[in-house]
Amino acid sequence: MKILYKVSWCVIVFAMCYSMANAQDLGNISGQKPFNISGSLEARGIAYSVSGIAERRSPFTYLFSGSPVISLYGFTIPFTISLSESDRSFRQPFNQFGMSPTYKWITLHAGYRNISYSPYTLGGHTMLGAGVELNPGKLRAGFMYGRLNRATTIDTTTQALVPFSFSRKGYAAKLGYGSERNFFELSFLKAKDDSTSAPNGIVPDSLFVTPEANTVLGYRFRFSFLKYFFIESDGAGSIYTRDLNSPIPLDSLDNEFLKRIKNFANINATSEFYTAFAGSIGFKKKGYGLKVNYRRIDPDFKSMGAYFFNSDIEDWTVAPSFTLLQNKVRFAGSIGFQHDNLKQQKQATNRRVIGSANMYLDFTQSLGLDVSYSNFSSNQRPQTARFADSLRIVQTTRNLSFMPRYFIITPGASHVITAAITFNDLNDYNTYFSDQGISRNISTKQYFLNYNITLPAKQLSLFINLNNTNLKGALLSDKYYGLTLGGNKSMLKNKLQTGLNASFTRGITDQGRSLIINSNANIGYQVRKNQTARLNWFLTNNRPATANQQLATFTESRTEISYIFNF
């Protein structure tokens, strides 16, 4: 009761403290509103309890978030706000503030921002800093400077293992010209770690962490020609230095390119040069199209302006698409080849045939069928004389899905029936295991059936879902049966919204029988035109297989009370 009292009090105090005055219309000055504010604010309190296992979160937490946007004579200033209880103990805080005010073709960035110039330079990495974007006409220019990472280490008070990292700062710029149909852009990123940002008493070398640096130059372009044809590409070259303090001289590097550009980047004997390239050519006309794609990313390609790359990969794909019979038949697919080990650094090269196809059929206005198919095969070729046959990968993964749909629309009710039948097969053709009579094939079959009925006059909707999953392999034979049902009801002229649903999943495995029950109840009330109060309750009851003594039966519940302002 104390926890629920705290939750309620948190929401009530927030609601009482909030006041909002509507801006008075002072006239249309230069075609723009003098002042306008829009967006939303939310205060949420969360109570948690569990029995049977240890607590997995705090008994009480709160969250305050918002996304207000202020406009002054066409000068827009969007804000993002996030405050939570978690920041009290987490070293890399959730609390982030940022804004990107815009006036005509000028945009300013300040605070925490996610800016993207190119997928290989500054590609959506969160940066705490400042920047500007200029887009007068067809000119595209931008600059951003700030901190990419903050220094973290082991928390000596709680002994929490937070991976150590240096403070990382950098800047990025882009310059381009063109429209969405035809353009060319150059982008640049330079960033490095601050080796002096290690906290007192921490020796980075003892943690096998060294300060790094990165310089990336990239490009993007798209050109259309002959009305229906186009060519587009993204690419970059990245110089990555793994240890800024390395005592090994640059002369020891057997790379003439790095020696020539040593005055433009932080380069020493730990520096490497990587490239990434992706390009496409094709045509698109009403009713059909064709696209040929090529991609090549060097092993260990990195950019401090992006979080992750699937590197050491090269592939070709051809992607056709078309529509027939007045859009009643729609098709999109691709087929191609892919391989790794671009620099012959691995003991084996993995070659794959990658293909997929999707077709959408509308037999009538009410009846339709969606079909999807994919086939991915892998085959490793040894690059060394000594390569264990048991490690060789020769596999094929196939996926086939049928998804029929049927709609019945009447003045009094709407019925929607959907189903899905999916077959997944992983076939292993490794001769080492097949010669010994060992099968590593895995087969999965999934069946889903959904029914939804909506009664507009009663402001009521009900739904039910049945599902079944079968997994079969050499060492497993598992079956899962599921049932989900629920509904939503509106009352008091749509001011009160209620919902209730529950799901039951029964598992039958070699370890025994298991049962998982999940339920959710929610109530939302529109206090005013732009204010809503919500109550959500979640319950999970997990009864694992009886043969597994390491897992305990537990019941977990979570209650959330929130108040939302839209303005």
Distance CA 522, CA 496 (A): 11
Residue 500 carries which side chain, given as an amino acid letter?
A: L
Residue indicated by tokens 């990555």: 240
Residue indicated by tokens 């920047």: 131
Q: Of 141-150, 369-378, 404-413, 452-461, which range is least confident?
A: 369-378
Is the pLDDT assigned to residue 1 strictly greater than 60? no
pLDDT digits (tens, 9 = 90+) for 507-557: 998 888 899 999 999 999 999 989 999 999 999 999 987 755 567 889 999
Q: Kindly state the tokens that stand for 342.
A: 């671009």
**Cβ contacts of residue 156 below 8 Å, gap of 6+?**
none
Q: Shortest CA distance to 376 belongs to which of 362, 389, 395?
A: 395
Q: Of 34-38, 260-264, 376-380, which range is least confident?
A: 376-380
Q: Shortest CA distance to 296 belongs to which of 282, 272, 316, 281?
A: 316
The dihedral built from the CA positions of residue 300, 303, 307 and 308, taken in this order, carries a sign that is negative
Distance CA 239, CA 253 (A): 14
Q: What is the DSSP letter of 16?
A: H
Name the helix (H) or strand (E) containing 258: helix 256-260
Residue indicated by tokens 């206005």: 365
Distance CA 464, CA 375 (A): 32
pLDDT interval class at 32 (50, 70, 90): low
Distance CA 136, CA 104 (A): 9
pLDDT digits (tens, 9 = 90+) for 52-86: 888 888 899 998 888 888 877 666 677 777 787 75
How much is the pLDDT for 90?
A: 33
Name the helix (H) or strand (E) containing 10: helix 2-17
pLDDT digits (tens, 9 = 90+) for 390-442: 444 456 788 999 999 999 999 899 999 999 999 998 866 555 555 555 556 78
Residue 397 carries which side chain, given as an amino acid letter?
A: T
How much is the pLDDT for 379?
A: 60
Is the pLDDT assigned to residue 460 strictly greater than 80? yes
Distance CA 349, CA 339 (A): 7
Q: Of 97-106, 124-133, 356-365, which range is least confident?
A: 97-106
How much is the pLDDT for 117?
A: 94
The dihedral built from the CA positions of residue 149, 151, 154 and 155, taken in this order, carries a sign that is negative
pLDDT interval class at 24 (50, 70, 90): very low
How much is the pLDDT for 416?
A: 97
- The strand pair at 313-324 and 60-66 is best described as unpaired
- The strand pair at 512-528 and 496-509 is best described as antiparallel
How many Cβ atoms sit within 10 Å of the Cβ of residue 31? 7
Number of H helices, E strands in the chain: 3, 29
User: What's the gap between Cα 511 and its chain centre?
Assistant: 34
Q: What is the DSSP letter of 199?
A: P
Quick check: helix, strand or coil at residue 400?
A: strand
> Mean pLDDT across the chain, nearest whole number?
83
Q: Which residues pair with 192 in a beta bridge?
A: 169, 213
317 φ/ψ angles, rounded to the nearest 5 degrees: -140, 150
Segment 207-213 shows an average pLDDT of: 80
Residue indicated by tokens 């009094």: 412
Is the pLDDT assigned to residue 10 strictly greater than 90? no
How many Cβ atoms sit within 10 Å of the Cβ of residue 127? 28
Distance CA 58, CA 49 (A): 9
